[in-house]
Structure 1
């Protein structure tokens, strides 16, 4: 039996360890991928910290990592459309028996030397796109892309607000710029995050604690307020604040995950203004190939998103850096 290294999270104790585990074998409809790069996401931090718990995991331990790129190392016996050595990026999840399952949460992911993938979660990765940049496309980029284009249906020249300019929010700013939203107003309590938002294409970056916030939003939008607001922070206070800044028929899209109650302070005003609150999770199956095509075509560039690349052995260090925001990271990458 061949062994490999993997970063394994024991759910009952929330203990993350690097272990030697059996190397998987590709079954029917599967390929084995040699992992070249795997992203570290804030949801990984939440899993380790205990604020998120897998819904469909059938064991007590799981290999983390839902942002994965690599090369095909082995084919299942009935797989004919792919070849060993092909470069691939993996969808962040899968649908099995009608359930939406997340890689690295509900089943083993890519913080390992090798990862199993169903063929319907594979996408070809052009040679021109580095593995490190490709790995973050599922989730860090595809989740805000789906929120913007599918859930919110943002149109050119619409005024939008982005609360939380972290790993997802910063890409939302970049993608909103690409689809023509205007103005793009970023809201974050951290000065470094606000500077980053401006670097990535925001027109205005504001402090949510500023008592002049409403006045500043109205000034930036010519009195319109926000046609769409995105919560990438997953915080109740963000959602309550964003609702007060929506234009008539405005939409609040909840992307950041939170297990707290959602409160609408003035239900009558909410109805009168015909506001909407929309939940969003992940992305459709066409999001990753769309984004790969946009990167290959020179429309998008994620090179600035990779803050650092660390060896798999430093997975715990990477999680800590993301948790404490040491070095103001956008995305940290693990390389087995």
Structure 2
């Protein structure tokens, strides 16, 4: 089969021929339909996020496809089933895994970082991490459920514990932030403020449910947020960028007792400011990563029933041989993409 192979020592990659993997016990072989290109993939390519597994690895962790073969002991699945594999698997050895509490694994292995991903014609996945995809959900939209939508869902529902009627700010309305805006609206947040440097991205956020979209360089940004929240500040803010400047701006926009959820990641150090002011504000800062496997099923139902529209989330599709072009488009923000997909 054809697969992209990244050498994590030299940070170079090529699309080449490799053997089709064989599913082991509890695993399935998936014929990949589509796989997203994520900013996490770029972090591995530039060395910001260190590799967790073999020196040479196949990238791609937002996949959809059909089951091509079943490993020993797999039940409940058949060849041809439309599925999305989880973008990680529990270690099976930590104290949580030993008592079957896999959702709290302390050494989670990340797909495309610790083991081969899905920028390939086929990929392996644990049967326990599969989600069945309804027939009326496109395989393109199904692919991005595995991170680009499920990670924001986890941030909104689980980490922020967002409630109906709470005010929300989203710093960075790109691939992750776009879906934070949509999901915050879906759970009843109001008002929703999107903050981004890109005018095109700000307009898209408005089209998808934001009540106000602001340029982070606007000197009136704090005053405008206070005005739209009736002088209270935000109940919840999401930093989908992960830079010090976005983190600090989001933190400063919180109302008393507000929550800041860090979703974006970088190598920059973050500061909370003077302890007196932080404590007096009763602000909460919560880090977020990933999602629960069950979240993908919830999102698939929301798309299937028309509650969640992801039609504007697919910004382009490139063949596997042109994965480098897809990476370039995301790196350079060419066309302000939400998600670019690889089609093996």
Q: TM-score interval w.r.t. the shorter chain?
A: over 0.9
Instruction: From 9, 16, 20, give the equivalent of 1:12.
Output: 9
Q: Is the 8 A contact 2:172 2:239 kept in 1?
A: yes
Distance in structure 1 (CA, Å) of the matches to 2:301 and 2:19 = 35
Structure 1 stretches of 5 or more lacking a match?
none
Alignment of 1:1-336 (within 5 A): 4-54=1-51, 56-57=52-53, 59-96=54-91, 97-98=93-94, 99-336=107-344
Deviation at 1:16, TM superposition (A): 1.7
Deviation at 1:80, TM superposition (A): 2.2
Distance in structure 2 (CA, Å) of the matches to 1:249 and 1:258 = 26
Distance in structure 1 (CA, Å) of the matches to 2:293 and 2:32 = 21
1:173-216 CA deviation, whole Å, 9 max, x = no partner?
01111011000000111111111111111000001111111100
Distance in structure 2 (CA, Å) of the matches to 1:266 and 1:190 = 31
TM-score (norm 2): 0.95
Deviation at 1:245, TM superposition (A): 1.0
Distance in structure 2 (CA, Å) of the matches to 1:137 and 1:179 = 18
Q: CA RMSD in A?
A: 0.9
Deviation at 1:81, TM superposition (A): 1.5
Distance in structure 2 (CA, Å) of the matches to 1:71 and 1:247 = 47
Deviation at 1:120, TM superposition (A): 1.0
SS of equivalent residue, structure 2 residue 169:
strand
SS of equivalent residue, structure 2 residue 293:
coil
SS of equivalent residue, structure 2 residue 90:
strand
Q: Is the 8 A contact 2:174 2:336 kept in 1?
A: no
Aligned residues: 331
